[in-house]
């Protein structure tokens, strides 16, 4: 399993791969220079049960911390993760 970040400065996504095949993604758009709006998380049905959505969330949080930006959670999964884990509130917008 590997996660890559694609970011063109306006929008981007965190993409998770399993054995070279795209297994899921978490998409975002930039809101100014200090916030990303996470809009959608999707993991393919064949990759369900592997916690890949949580792995994508971890990558988004580390990306936010490394780039000193906040996350605006529009995606319902991301909203739920922020509700469950107070340890990541440092990147919550």
Domain count, the chain: 1
Determine the Cα–Cα distance for residues 35 and 17; give it in Å rounded to an integer.
Answer: 25
Query: In this predicted structure, what is the pLDDT of residue 83?
Result: 98
Domain with 78, as residue range(s), is 2-91
Which CATH number goes with the domain that contains 66? 3.40.630.30
pTM of the predicted protein model: 0.96
Query: For residues 54 and 19, what is the distance between their CA atoms, to the nearest angstrom?
Result: 18
- Identify each DSSP E strand in the chain by its residue range: 2-7, 11-18, 21-30, 35-43, 70-73
Show pLDDT as tens, one digit a residue, over the chain (93 residues): 999 999 999 999 999 999 999 999 999 999 999 999 999 999 999 999 999 999 999 999 999 999 999 999 999 999 999 999 999 999 999
Measure the CA–CA gap between 45 and 63, rounded to whole angstroms: 26
The pLDDT of residue 75: 98
């Amino acid at each position: 399993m590997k996660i890559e970040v694609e970011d063109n400065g306006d929008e981007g996504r965190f993409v998770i791969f399993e054995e070279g095949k795209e297994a899921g993604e978490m998409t975002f758009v930039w809101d100014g220079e200090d916030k990303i709006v996470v809009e959608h998380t999707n993991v393919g049905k064949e990759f369900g049960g592997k916690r890949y959505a949580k792995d994508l969330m971890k990558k988004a949080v580390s990306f936010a911390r490394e780039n000193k930006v906040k996350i605006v959670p529009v995606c319902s999964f991301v909203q739920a993760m922020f509700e469950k884990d107070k340890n990541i509130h440092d990147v919550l917008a």
